[in-house]
A and B are shown apart, each in its own frame.
Chain A
Amino acid sequence: MGLFLLSGISQAEMKLNLQEPITALGRDVYDLHLLMTIVCGVIFVAVFGVMFWSVFVHRKSAGYKAATFHESTTVEILWTIVPVFILLGMAWPATKTILAMRDTTNADITIKATGYQWKWGYDYLKGTGEGISFVSTLSTPQPQVRNEVAKGENYLLEVDNELVVPVGKKIRILTTANDVIHAWWVPALAVKQDAVPGFIRDTWFRAEKTGTYRGQCAELCGKEHGYMPIVVKIVTEEEYAAWVDGKLKAMAAAADDPNKMYLVEELTPRGEKVFAANCAACHQANGQGLPPAFPPLVGSKVVLGPQDGQIDILLNGKSGTAMAAFKHLSDTELAAVITYTRNSWGNATGEVVQPSDIKVARE
Chain B
Amino acid sequence: MAAIPGGADHAHDHDHHQPSGIMRWVTTTNHKDIGSMYLWFSFAMFLVGGVMALVIRAELFQPGLQVVDPDRFNQMTTLHGLIMVFGAIMPAFVGFANWMIPLMIGASDMAFARMNNWSFWLLPPAAILLTSSLLVPGGAAASGWTLYPPLTVQMGIGMDMAIFAVHILGISSIMGSINIVTTLLNMRAPGMTLMKMPLFCWTWLITAYLVIAVMPVLAGAVTMILTDRHFGTSFFNAAGGGDPVLYQHIFWFFGHPEVYIIAIPAFGVVSQVIPAFSRKPLFGYASMVYATSSIAILSFIVWAHHMYTVGMPVAGQLYFMFATMLIAIPTGVKVFNWVATMWRGSLSFETPMLFSIGFLFLFTLGGFSGLVLSMTAVDIQLHDSYYVVAHFHYVMVAGALFSAYAGAYYWLPKWTGHMYDEKLGKLHFWLSIVFFNMTFFVQHFLGLAGMPRRIPDYSLQFAEFNMISSIGAFGFGLSQLVFLVVVLKCIKGGEKASAKPWDGAEGLEWTVPSPAPHHTFETPPVFK
Binds B, one of A70-78, A240-248, A259-267, A299-307: A70-78
Taking CB as reference atom, which chain A residue is nearest B437?
A3
Which residues of B sit under 8 angstroms from A95, Cβ to Cβ? 318, 321
Scan A113-151; emit 1 where CB is below 8 A from any B CB, else 0: 000000000000000000000000000000011110001
A14 touches B464 (CB 8 A): yes
Scan B358-396; emit 1 where CB is below 8 A from any A CB, else 0: 001100110010011001111011011100000000000
Enumerate chain A interface residues (CB-CB to B < 8 A): 3-4, 7, 11, 14-19, 28-29, 32-33, 36-37, 40-41, 43-44, 47-48, 50-51, 54-55, 58-61, 64-72, 75-76, 79-80, 83-84, 87, 90-91, 94-95, 97-99, 101-102, 144-147, 151, 153-157, 175, 179-181, 183, 185, 187, 190-194, 196-199, 201-202, 214-227, 290, 292-293, 319-322
Which residues of B sit under 8 angstroms from A67, Cβ to Cβ? 280, 344-345
Scan B262-284; emit 1 where CB is below 8 A from any A CB, else 0: 00000000000000001111111
CA distance A14 to B333 in the complex (A): 36
The smallest beta-carbon distance between A59 and chain B, in angstroms, is 5
CA distance A313 to B257 in the complex (A): 42
CA distance A191 to B64 in the complex (A): 27
Which residues of B sit under 8 angstroms from A191, Cβ to Cβ? 380
Tally of A-B Cβ pairs under 8 angstroms:
300
Which residues of B sit under 8 angstroms from A224, Cβ to Cβ? 70
B448 touches A15 (CB 8 A): yes
B339 touches A14 (CB 8 A): no
Task: Please name 25 pairs of A and B residues whose Cβ atoms are closer than 8 Å in the assembled complex, sorted by A.
Answer: A44-B364, A54-B339, A55-B349, A58-B343, A58-B345, A64-B345, A66-B345, A67-B345, A69-B344, A70-B284, A71-B285, A76-B287, A153-B460, A155-B63, A157-B459, A183-B309, A185-B384, A192-B309, A193-B309, A194-B310, A197-B150, A199-B311, A218-B383, A224-B70, A322-B155
Which residues of A sit under 8 angstroms from B235, Cβ to Cβ? none
CA distance A322 to B71 in the complex (A): 12
CA distance A321 to B137 in the complex (A): 12
Tell which of B238, B361, B468 touches A7, judged by Cβ atoms closer than 8 Å. Answer: B468
Which residues of A sit under 8 angstroms from B326, Cβ to Cβ? 87
Which residues of A sit under 8 angstroms from B385, Cβ to Cβ? 218
B311 touches A196 (CB 8 A): yes
CA distance A358 to B190 in the complex (A): 80
Binds A, one of B90-98, B119-127, B449-457: B449-457
Taking CB as reference atom, which chain B residue is nearest A63?
B346
The smallest beta-carbon distance between A153 and chain B, in angstroms, is 7
CA distance A110 to B286 in the complex (A): 57
Tell which of A3, A66, A145 touches B438, judged by Cβ atoms closer than 8 Å. Answer: A3
B364 touches A219 (CB 8 A): no
The smallest beta-carbon distance between B357 and chain A, in angstroms, is 7
- Cβ of B427 within 8 Å of any chain A Cβ, yes or no, is no
CA distance A87 to B332 in the complex (A): 12
A51 touches B342 (CB 8 A): yes
A185-B452, A216-B452 given; 20 more Cβ-contact pairs under 8 Å: A15-B445, A32-B378, A50-B343, A60-B347, A64-B346, A65-B346, A70-B284, A71-B283, A71-B284, A76-B333, A180-B151, A181-B148, A198-B237, A201-B310, A218-B309, A218-B384, A220-B148, A222-B74, A223-B142, A226-B455
Which residues of B sit under 8 angstroms from A144, Cβ to Cβ? 64
Which residues of A sit under 8 angstroms from B283, Cβ to Cβ? 69-71
